[in-house]
Amino acid sequence: MKKWLVFASVTMLCTLLISCGEGSLPFLKNKKEGYIRYEVTFPYETGLMLQFYPKEMMFYFNEEQAHAVLSSAYGVVSTDFFIGQKDEFFSHYLKSFSEKKVLHMHHTNVHDWLKRYPDVRLESTNETMEIAGFKCKKTIAHFMIDSLPTIDLYSTNEIALKDNNWWNKFDGLDGVLMGYEVNLYGKRMRLRATEVKFEKQDPSHFVRPEGYEEVNFEQMDKALKDLSSSFSD
């Protein structure tokens, strides 16, 4: 009888351990909360300034919001994007040396800001690629300006975020971007996801920082152009 009880107890314990794996916890099973780590490269840049460019980006997310963090070497320049997936409120924070500026937008006017960047036409393909363990569909972004090369976009629906990229130039693209290119500080930046982890996130990741001067489109545009010039020098 004792042996049977011991066997039953061990069996139950093993069952509990297995059932408490990642697949059984609600925020893990649904893949709605965690972070994505991206490797950041600048394939078209050379020179001494390259050492100061960002090397990675962190993207924290849950069902209602996301926070992307990008910082240059030594933290001299940092950019934070806060995306409200539920309230569709978007904020662009920029810290450059001692200056701190923030641009707040809603989905109703975010595209007025994005008009400052070249328009793209999205072309779906049947090609796929595995990135960081996730199957990603390839979409080609054609710039409406012929002088700019196309961009290969890789997005996945295996992360349970309802994101059609309303807050960036790839509006309408379904799924979470795992590989793409974008212009930052006037430079062509390439991002590739290297790690995805589903786990409960510290609420502090989604708290928008204080102490930033709120600016309008023109003021932020000027700040970004000045920053681009400093990176070119």
Tens digits of residue pLDDT in 33-91: 999 999 999 888 777 777 778 899 999 999 899 999 998 877 788 999 999 988 889 99
The residue ranges of every structural domain in the chain are: 31-232
- In which band, very low, low, confident or very high, does the pLDDT at 30 lie, cut at 50, 70 and 90? low
Counting runs of H as helices and runs of E as strands, what totals does the chain give? 4, 12
Which tokens is 129 given?
């690629």
Q: Is residue 176 a contact partner of residue 196, using CB atoms and an 8 Å limit?
A: no
Tens digits of residue pLDDT in 108-126: 899 899 988 888 999 999 9
List the beta bridge partners of residue 95.
78, 100
The residue to which tokens 């390839």 are assigned: 138
Cα dihedral 91/95/100/101 (nearest 10) = -30
Looking at domain 31-232, its CATH class is mainly beta
Say if strands 99-106 and 213-214 run parallel, antiparallel, or are unpaired.
parallel
**Cβ neighbourhood burial of 187 (10 Å; 0-12, 13-18, 19+):** middle
**Is the model's pLDDT at 7 over the cut of 70?**
no
Say if strands 187-198 and 176-184 run parallel, antiparallel, or are unpaired.
antiparallel
Q: What is the pLDDT of residue 156?
A: 95
